[in-house]
Structure 1
Amino acid sequence: MDKTSCLALVHTYLSKQQRLTNDISNLRSEYQRLLRKYRRNLNQRNKLIAILIMLNENSFGINHRGIWILKKNGRWWLEVVPKMSDNEFKQNFRLERGTYSALMKQIEPYLRKTKTNCREPIPVEKKVCCALYCLGSSAELRTIGNLFGIGKSTSSEILHEFCSIMIELFIYNLVKFPDNHQEIKDTSSKFLRKFGYPMCIGAVDGTHISIKPPLGLETDYFNYKKYHSVIMLAVVNADLGFTYINVGAPGRCNDASVYSRSNLSDVIKNSIYEDHYMIVNNTKIQSHLIADSAFALDQTLLKPFPDRIDMPRQHRMFNYRLSRCRSTVERAFGMMKNRFRILHKKMEFNLDNTINIIKTAVIMHNICILHGDVEDILWHQPYPVHKKPSCPITTTNGIGVREAMIQYFEQNPL
């Protein structure tokens, strides 16, 4: 075979190869075009089916809940709750019916959801009662969900939605530190009338709430009581209502450090509190807070003398009068934790949700106080009581004010 014939064969082969390649490319393009067309048609068909289903449901009154929703029983909510006596209602939802009704009127517009074709919205009454049951019980969310005929995740969503709305609506109105002349005067007058202690505008203390610590920060949240916690620093008035809270400090901190870093330590130094005072033996006693020995002593915060066997009588008397007044904050903590028992158990939520739950418990406590829905019963801590370390920091002004208070108590016995 000569050279020309060989080249002709090679050319023929390459030409066929090129045509095959082009044909394959064209087939692939056509396949992709047909596939896109099929998908468009399929999407259009699915949309039409969805429209027909919705039209069918609207026409014949079929249940709007999709078949993918797992139906729960919820007989307890449907059959037992409506028949509860007033006492049984309070035992389960931690509020008297009157307090509950007042709360419903205020919060209902913010919890009500629009009805859709996908599912029926959960009634507001059911949401509020579910959230109250979560706050007032140490039961698991799965158990609570079964009682109300909803899922665990829905119970959690309802709780956090309720807490967010409560904080948004009430935190600044119901948890308010006295910051004008009339409020300061009224607050100190109540402490004097109820406990015989003058110029007090609040008892301050901290309490630990057990939590699941944030990942990687376990050491920071491990407290001196040997469990993980966040600290709630609070001020309480003579009516056992909370007037200030600071929630979220890691459990390893002490109360004094949380107080010194809070805005409260700056607020109390405002000149308006210096304007409310009395003079005892040429010493000015201004409006001030009272606390236990874990805090630092100054003219804006008084604390007891260190406990000793050979303590002078006057010091014992001062400690008794101050502790008698300071018991308000311990009683308030006890009442709140006894009523809202979610605070007794370890919080398994993330830190932000945990803080919101604690704030909501404070708000609900104050709502109960305002409505006279109060049970001042003895509260037993779930953990062994540990004596707080004493803070040795004092100021000359604080020492002078404390000595003047002794003179006042000598002149004004109970």
Structure 2
Amino acid sequence: MATIEDDDALALIGLAVILKKKHTKTVIKKRKKWYKHWLLKRKTYSHVKLLNELKFEPEYFKNYLRMDENTYLKLLVMVTPMITRKDTIMRNSISAHERLSVTLRFLATGRSYEDLKFSSIISPQALGKIIPKTCEALYKVLRKGYLKFPTSEEEWKEITKMYEERWNFPHCLGAIDGKHIAIVPPANSGSYFYNYKGHHSVVLMTIANAKYQFVYIDAGMNGRISDGGVLQNTVFFEKLENNELHIPSSETIKGSNLHLPYVFLADDAFPLRPDMIKPFRQGDLASRERKIFNYRLSRARRTVENAFGIMASRFRIYYSHINLEPKNIDKVVKASCALHNFLIEHSKKSYAPLKCFYRENSENRTIISEGYATKNSTMENLERRNPGNTLNTAKTVREDFMNHFNAEGRVPWQDDHVN
């Protein structure tokens, strides 16, 4: 039971607390400005004014946004409904033109938001919202028309027809490849994105057609996953395993009695399967026939290698460690892939001139250009996988293609490319 003395003690303590609060001043840091004055002068200093001048210097305009003015305006019309914002009583909104141009400049240079704020006259905080949302809009508006995955036998056969015409490789459904894309790891992510190469990354898996365009992409897989498991973690592989891709059945090759399946072309990072063939390993190249097969497969696979190389050389974001949240990295990667396909279609001469591609002399088939590669970018190849147990049917399919390339399917110049 409390005594009078206890009550007096509690009262004294309470009084002391009250007196201390009265003498303690709460220090509130007074904000000098609610805005940066120069950010209100976007109409005066923004790079949009520079773009208006670059219209009269077409080459500089292409260099600045990686496309000519007509292609840019076409893209702007397509994406405007998705990125336009309304003005408020407090301030005018940032226009669709400003949003798209600063996003393209970000992809083209890989510059940080802190750096871009000086040329765009848009705060880094606003850029952190504008650029990912614009990338998301670009992917959504472009994927149906320019990044369409085949859904029927007829569409797959369109791809195979072009591979046979351009690269003398029959029954080719596309070239598969994957790259590690270097990133700055997000806070508290630990080793989640840390790969065996010694840095943090996400993986981009693609399939390319004969026109150097991507027909399938899978972006955002963390780099910690073993390269052998990258393919198995894609929706594509799941559908391939379940026979849900509507791939044509085996057919006899034109001009031959050989009955061969339709296949994807891969490198040594991927498994050898009846529907996916890759080169013989260096230690297994005892015969000239196998060397010729490797040459023919490598020649056709350059489409996907060059596609990566062109995209990386044009969008220099791939020459830096991308410093964004993982979900926003995915948006940036998907947007750049969709833009790559769009520009190959509408602005090929400026976006990807002849020097970008693997080219041969039409008379003697000597190599004129190896085309663009990713060797100088931060993109890295997937590691060669342990072959493990391979189905005999897969080995037979590869041997059948090898026999075809050394018989009815041979080309006159192939012997010149084999030592």
**Would the TM-score normalized by the shorter structure come out above 0.5?**
yes
CA shift at 1:382, angstroms? 3.2
What letter corresponds to residue 250 of structure 1 in structure 2?
A: N
Tell me if structure 2 keeps the 8 A contact 1:273–1:288: no
For residue 388 of structure 1, what is the aligned residue in structure 2? 383
For residue 409 of structure 2, what is the aligned residue in structure 1? 412
The structure 2 residue matched to 1:398, chosen from 374, 394, 401, is 394
For residue 129 of structure 1, what is the aligned residue in structure 2? 101
Matched, 1:222 2:194: yes
Distance 2:88 2:227 in 1: 50
CA shift at 1:83, angstroms? 1.0
Distance 1:76 1:356 in 2: 25
Closer, same or farther: CA 83–119 of 1 in aligned 2, 3 Å: same
The structure 1 residue matched to 2:265, chosen from 290, 295, 307, is 290
Closer, same or farther: CA 390–105 of 1 in aligned 2, 3 Å: same
Unaligned runs of 5+ residues in structure 2 are 1-32, 357-370, 412-419
CA shift at 1:151, angstroms? 1.1
RMSD: 2.4
Matched, 1:342 2:309: no
What letter corresponds to residue 300 of structure 2 in structure 1?
A: C
Closer, same or farther: CA 387–257 of 1 in aligned 2, 3 Å: closer
Unaligned runs of 5+ residues in structure 1 are 1-65
The structure 2 residue matched to 1:98, chosen from 70, 79, 83, is 70
Closer, same or farther: CA 289–309 of 1 in aligned 2, 3 Å: closer
Closer, same or farther: CA 351–310 of 1 in aligned 2, 3 Å: closer
Q: Secondary structure at the match of 1:230?
A: strand
Distance 2:409 2:157 in 1: 20
What letter corresponds to residue 378 of structure 1 in structure 2?
A: Y
For residue 27 of structure 2, what is the aligned residue in structure 1? none
What letter corresponds to residue 261 of structure 2 in structure 1?
A: Q
Closer, same or farther: CA 295–246 of 1 in aligned 2, 3 Å: same
CA shift at 1:170, angstroms? 2.8
CA shift at 1:133, angstroms? 0.4
Q: Secondary structure at the match of 1:273?
A: coil
Q: Map Cα deviations across residues 301-323 of structure 1 (whole Å, 9 max, x no partner).
A: 00000112852101100000001
Matches within 5 A, 1:96-175: 96-175=68-147
What letter corresponds to residue 397 of structure 1 in structure 2?
A: T
Distance 1:386 1:161 in 2: 29
Matched, 1:77 2:23: no
CA shift at 1:172, angstroms? 4.2
What letter corresponds to residue 123 of structure 2 in structure 1?
A: G
TM-score scaled by length of structure 1: 0.78
Q: Secondary structure at the match of 1:308?
A: helix
Q: Map Cα deviations across residues 172-217 of structure 1 (whole Å, 9 max, x no partner).
A: 4432222212211110010111111111111111101111224444
Q: Secondary structure at the match of 2:247?
A: helix
Q: Secondary structure at the match of 1:205?
A: strand
For residue 211 of structure 1, what is the aligned residue in structure 2? 183
Bigger fraction of residues in helix? 1
Tell me if structure 1 keeps the 8 A contact 2:146–2:338: yes
Tell me if structure 2 keeps the 8 A contact 1:273–1:286: no
Tell me if structure 1 keeps the 8 A contact 2:208–2:304: yes
For residue 182 of structure 1, what is the aligned residue in structure 2? 154
What letter corresponds to residue 376 of structure 2 in structure 1?
A: Q
Matches within 5 A, 1:53-72: 68=35, 70-72=37-39
Distance 2:281 2:100 in 1: 47
Closer, same or farther: CA 202–122 of 1 in aligned 2, 3 Å: same
For residue 39 of structure 1, what is the aligned residue in structure 2? none
Quick one: percent identity of the two aligned structures? 26
Q: In terms of Rg, which structure is larger?
A: 1
Closer, same or farther: CA 220–100 of 1 in aligned 2, 3 Å: same
What letter corresponds to residue 141 of structure 1 in structure 2?
A: Y
Closer, same or farther: CA 310–202 of 1 in aligned 2, 3 Å: closer
For residue 378 of structure 1, what is the aligned residue in structure 2? 372
Matched, 1:241 2:241: no
Matches within 5 A, 1:14-25: none
Closer, same or farther: CA 110–386 of 1 in aligned 2, 3 Å: closer
Tell me if structure 2 keeps the 8 A contact 1:199–1:288: yes
Aligned pairs, number:
349
Closer, same or farther: CA 95–386 of 1 in aligned 2, 3 Å: closer
